[in-house]
């Protein structure tokens, strides 16, 4: 309940207060070096997204060269399914839109789209659109607004938005809008900051932010900030570093970034670093991972941290990469 | 990795843990290889299928493993006919049991929820009503699990929605725990706001905010209700009056100030601008995290 949320995270004096960039660089560099590390080995099925998280985080810190480019590009190549054109989380696993988008993001950062069969990817994304405009994650049929976002993210990076029915896709996302102005995973599903990011990002790419009830949604989003400074993903839930990104990037696209208290959020994000191992965790004192490391850094970048490259709020990729591709996702003033 | 506290251990504990982890990793890799090498066998390889269950119970997020199961199920459906429908039903039911095990270990696993629905949808005799009852039972244990709410909607598409019953369910959930945003949200999807329903909704939301004014859930619902064109000046005046008495009991509650700012729109006369200004200036003091928002509100009334 609200009153108990005041103590939602431990206010510990031992938590870090400065940004530990060097620690994070070595954390991410070493993360994939030991194949037999348990956490690394057991999460092989989401490796492609893991590569995107680690690579983007390093690029934001200006350390793209810390990871072996050729090895990574080769890995992406091997993960493309020649039949469907989709890309999997790792070798021997099945293709999925979640990993297809990560792979395309990675190749765009490296400017190496030539390494894969791009037409195959386009064919794959196109094959996953349903008559009502929605997208399934793979051929097995699960529908979710996350997949709508993945689809347009992928196709816009490949400059092939014409491959799908964009109007229908927008119609579906619009049908997922709720009483509070937010969005859920399907029509009538509860609003959730992660899915709001997906839907706002989707509308930013399709240049249709006009359909959003801007201030209703922005108010709901700014109410995610808790006394600890951290952001949660739904009312009466705990804060988590990844929501720093989902909420902040959505507010940024809506032109309402200033509705969040930066100093308080920065303090929370910085306190989620592990000063021994490097990396960020969801909350202070938990185990760190590349996922939270990217979203912690990306949120700091969005708040203007000078030690980091600028991040694009729609794509969660360095702004310079988006500029080079001449992409102009819609952002409200 | 969410909510996993880093625990300090001795060197010895660390070694034991690492050994166990290495065994697990080895079992995962061997199991996956075994499945991969037999994936396309017809009839399916029972050892691989059993290993697959174990791997999913340990980690239900590995979508390729669910895909393998779906391939096997399709194979079973294709090779069965009326004479062995019962057998097929049993096979499918054991599959549903597996998803139950997975969901008990990880109630937020997208893959398990989806597989469960996918299997039931192909079951020769699906017990949708039983499933619906189970769903209600689960929501009583955890009424914030949005996967389960989504699942409820999928089942209702099958058995047909009884709007009155669902409304009653949401009222019950809300009365048990006002701080339950998921139930408020669910209610919003069942309601057409109109003259008939408005009084009941206002009543419910007023009860909630008077019980725990610090809880945000009902306030979001109130904002939505007030957006209805059927809200009259009288509704607003009544509520404003009630909120003012609540404010006497709880003078520092930001939500009361926020709600008052919604209500004064079109109710007060020339004084409302000054009153709204005071309201937002107070909010900046008592809720400084959102001062950027309140400053914009102040600028808008000027």
Residue A5 has pLDDT above 70, yes or no: no
Which tokens sit at B280?
A: 């937002």
Residues of A in contact with B114 (CB under 8 A): 140, 142
Q: Which residues of B106-129 are buried (b: 16+ CB within 10 A; e: fewer)?
A: eeebbbbbbbbbbbbebbbebebe
Whether B18 and A219 lie within 8 Å, measured CB to CB: no
pLDDT at A6: 42
CB contact (8 A) between residue B64 and residue A94: yes
Q: Write b or e for each residue in A94-124: b if 16 or more Cβ atoms lie within 10 A of its Cβ, otherwise e.
A: bbbbbbbbbbbbbbbbbebeebbebebbbeb
Rounded to whole angstroms, the Cα distance separating A105 from A98 reads 11
Check residue B265 and report its DSSP letter. T
Looking from the CA of A224 toward its CB, the CA atoms found within 13 Å total 32
Q: Establish if B144 belongs to a structural domain.
A: no
Distance (Å) from the C-alpha of residue B268 to the closest C-alpha of chain A? Answer: 23
| Cα A91 from chain centre | 22
Q: How far is B82 from chain A (nearest CA, A)?
A: 26
Residues of A in contact with B2 (CB under 8 A): 240, 282, 286
The answer to whether the CB atoms of B61 and A45 lie below 8 A apart is: yes
Interchain contact, A235 vs B216, CB within 8 Å: yes
Chain A residues lying within 8 Å of B66, measured CB to CB: 140
Distance CA(A197)–CA(A193), nearest Å, equals: 6
Query: How close is the nearest chain B Cα to the Cα of A71, in Å?
Result: 22
Are residues A259 and B118, on separate chains, in Cβ contact within 8 Å?
no
Instruction: State the DSSP code for B292.
Output: H
Say how many C-beta atoms besides its own lie within 10 A of residue B294's C-beta: 23
Q: How many CB atoms lie within 10 A of CB A83?
A: 9
In angstroms, the CA A91 to CA A195 distance is 28
d(CA B170, CA B176): 10
This prediction's pTM: 0.96
Choose among B5, B32, B110: nearest Cβ to A285: B5
3-state secondary structure chain A: CCHHHHHCCCCCCCCCCCCCHHHHHHHHHHHCCCCCCHHHHHCHHHHHHHHHHHHHHHHHCCCHHHCCHHHHHHHHHHHECCCCCCEECCCCCCECHHHHHHHHHHHHHHCCHHHCCHHHHHHHHHHCECCCCCEECCCCCCECHHHHHHHHHHHHHCCCHHHCCHHHHHHHHHCCECCCCCECCCCCCCCCHHHHHHHHHHHHHCCCHHHCCHHHHHHHHHCCECCCCCECCCCCCCCCHHHHHHHHHHHHHCCCHHHCCHHHHHHHHHHCECCCCCCECCCCCECCEHHHHHHHHHHHHHCCCCCCCCEECCCCEEHHHHHHCCCCCCCCC
Mean pLDDT for all residues in chain B: 93
CB contact at 8 A, A113 and A107: yes
The answer to whether the CB atoms of A190 and B146 lie below 8 A apart is yes
Among B23, B146, B252, B259, most A C-beta atoms within 10 A, so best to mutate, is: B146
Over residues B78-85, mean pLDDT: 91
Stretch B47-61: mean pLDDT = 97
Cβ of B64 within 8 Å of Cβ of A216? The answer is no
**Taking 90 as the threshold, does the pLDDT of residue A272 lie above it?**
yes
Residues of B in contact with A138 (CB under 8 A): 63, 67
Q: Are A27 and A82 in contact (CB under 8 A)?
A: no
pLDDT at B7 over 90: no
Nearest CA in chain A to B296: A259
Of the two residues B36 and B197, the one the predictor is more confident about is B36
pLDDT confidence band for B167 (50 / 70 / 90):
very high
First to last CA, chain B: 47
Which residues in chain A are closer than 8 Å to B225, comparing Cβ atoms? none
Q: What is the pLDDT of residues B216-249, one digit of tens each?
A: 999 999 999 999 999 999 999 999 999 999 999 9
CB contact under 8 A, B18 and A38: yes
User: Measured between beta carbons, which residues in chain B are less than 8 angstroms from residue A142?
Assistant: 110, 114
Residues written for chain A? 333
What is the number of CB-based contacts under 8 A between chain A and chain B?
155
Contact B245, B210 (CB under 8 A): no
Does residue B247 lie in a domain region?
Answer: yes
Whether B72 maps to a domain, the answer reads no
Q: In this predicted structure, what is the pLDDT of residue B1?
A: 66
Find residue A317's DSSP bridge partners.
A312
ipTM score assigned to the predicted complex: 0.95
pLDDT: is B278 or A313 the higher one?
A313
Gap from B220 CA to chain A (nearest CA, Å): 7
Whether A286 sits inside 8 A of B5 (CB atoms) is: yes
Nearest to A51 by CA among A113, A118, A107: A107
Question: Can you tell me the distance from the alpha carbon of B206 to that of B9, in angstroms, rounded to the nearest whole number?
Answer: 51
SS3 B83: helix
How many other C-beta atoms lie within 10 A of the C-beta of residue B143? 19
Residue-wise pLDDT for B91-106, tens only, equals: 999 999 999 999 998 9
Please answer yes or no on whether A259 and B293 come within 8 Å at the CB atom.
Answer: yes
For residue A20, what are the CA distances in angstroms to A279, A280, B111? Answer: 9, 10, 36
| Residue A324 C-alpha, separation from nearest chain B C-alpha, in angstroms | 33
Q: Which residues of B touch A258 (CB under 8 A)?
A: 292
% of chain B with per-residue pLDDT over 70 = 97
Q: Which position has the higher pLDDT, B156 or A8?
A: B156
Token pair for residue B250? 């709880």
Query: Domain span at residue B258?
Result: 233-302
Label residue B302 by pLDDT band (50, 70, 90): low
Counting the structural domains of chain B, the total is 1
How far CA B87 is from CA of A222, B46, B83, in Å, comes to 54, 16, 9
Whether residue B258 lies inside any domain: the answer is yes
Three-class HEC string of B184-210: HHHHHHHCCCCHHHHHHHHHHHHHHHH
Q: In the structure, what pLDDT confidence band is assigned to residue A2 with cuts at 50, 70 and 90?
A: very low
Q: For residue A183, what are the β-bridge partners?
A: A177
How is residue B97 written in tokens? 């049991």
H helix runs in B160-251, sequence order: 163-176, 181-190, 195-211, 217-226, 233-249
Instruction: Determine which of B293, B296, B299 to mutate to test the interface with A (most A C-beta atoms within 10 Å).
Output: B293
Residue B77 belongs to some domain of the structure: no
pLDDT tens figures, B120-150 = 999 999 999 999 999 999 999 999 999 999 9
Sequence-distant (≥ 6) Cβ neighbours of residue A246 within 8 angstroms: A193, A194, A196, A197, A233, A295
Query: Which two tokens mark B298?
Result: 């102040």
Residue A280: φ, ψ to 5° = -115, 150
């Amino acid at each position: 309940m609200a009153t108990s949320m005041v103590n939602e995270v431990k206010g510990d004096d031992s938590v870090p207060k400065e940004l530990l960039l060097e620690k994070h660089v070595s954390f991410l560099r070493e993360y994939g070096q030991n194949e037999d590390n348990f956490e690394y080995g057991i999460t092989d099925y989401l490796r492609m997204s893991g590569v995107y998280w680690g690579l983007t985080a390093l690029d934001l810190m200006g350390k793209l060269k810390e990871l072996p480019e050729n090895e990574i590009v080769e890995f992406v190549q091997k993960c493309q399914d020649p039949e469907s054109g989709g890309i999997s989380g790792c070798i021997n696993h099945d293709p999925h839109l979640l990993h297809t988008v990560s792979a395309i993001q990675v190749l765009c950062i490296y400017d190496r789209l030539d390494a894969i069969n791009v037409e195959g990817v386009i064919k794959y994304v196109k094959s996953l659109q349903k008559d009502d405009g929605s997208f399934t994650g793979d051929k097995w049929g699960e529908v979710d607004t996350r997949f709508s976002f993945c689809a347009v993210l992928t196709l816009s990076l490949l400059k092939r938005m014409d491959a799908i029915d964009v109007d229908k896709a927008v119609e579906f996302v619009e049908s997922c809008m709720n009483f509070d102005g937010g969005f859920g995973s399907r029509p009538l599903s509860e609003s959730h900051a992660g899915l709001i990011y997906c839907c706002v990002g989707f509308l930013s790419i399709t240049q249709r932010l006009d359909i959003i009830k801007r201030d209703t949604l922005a108010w709901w989003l700014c109410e995610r900030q808790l006394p600890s400074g951290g952001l949660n993903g739904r009312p009466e839930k705990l804060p988590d570093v990844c929501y720093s990104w989902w909420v902040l990037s959505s507010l940024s696209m809506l032109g309402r970034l200033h509705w969040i208290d930066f100093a308080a959020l920065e303090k929370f994000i910085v306190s989620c670093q592990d000063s021994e191992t490097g990396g960020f965790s969801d909350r202070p004192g938990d185990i760190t991972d590349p996922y939270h490391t990217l979203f912690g850094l990306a949120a700091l970048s969005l708040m203007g941290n000078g030690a980091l490259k600028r991040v694009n709020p729609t794509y969660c990729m360095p702004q310079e990469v988006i500029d080079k591709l001449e992409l102009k996702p819609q952002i409200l003033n | 990795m969410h909510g996993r506290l880093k625990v300090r251990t001795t060197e010895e504990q660390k070694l034991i843990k690492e050994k166990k982890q290495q065994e697990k990793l080895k079992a995962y890799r061997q199991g996956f290889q075994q499945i991969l090498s037999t994936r396309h066998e017809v009839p399916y390889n029972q050892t691989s299928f059993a290993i697959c269950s174990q791997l999913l119970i340990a980690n239900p997020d590995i979508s390729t493993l669910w895909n393998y199961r779906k391939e096997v199920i399709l194979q079973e459906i294709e090779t069965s006919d009326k004479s062995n429908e019962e057998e097929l039903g049993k096979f499918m039911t054991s599959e549903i049991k597996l998803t139950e095990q997975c969901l008990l270990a990880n109630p937020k696993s997208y893959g398990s929820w989806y597989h469960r629905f996918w299997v039931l949808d192909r079951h020769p005799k699906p017990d949708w009503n039983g499933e619906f009852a189970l769903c209600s039972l689960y929501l009583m244990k955890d009424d914030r699990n949005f996967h389960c709410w989504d699942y409820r909607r999928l089942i209702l598409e099958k058995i047909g929605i009884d709007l009155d019953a669902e409304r009653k369910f949401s009222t019950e959930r809300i009365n048990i725990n006002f701080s339950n945003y998921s139930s408020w949200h669910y209610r919003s999807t069942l309601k057409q706001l109109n003259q008939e329903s408005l009084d009941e909704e206002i009543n419910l939301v007023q009860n909630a905010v008077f019980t725990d004014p610090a809880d945000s859930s009902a306030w979001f619902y109130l904002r939505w209700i007030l957006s209805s064109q059927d809200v009259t000046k009288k509704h607003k005046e009544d509520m404003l009056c009630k909120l003012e008495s609540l404010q006497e009991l709880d003078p520092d509650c930001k939500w009361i100030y926020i709600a008052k700012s919604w209500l004064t729109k079109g109710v007060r006369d020339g004084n409302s601008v000054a009153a709204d200004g005071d309201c937002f200036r107070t909010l900046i003091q008592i809720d400084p995290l959102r001062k950027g928002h309140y400053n914009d509100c102040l600028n808008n009334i000027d």
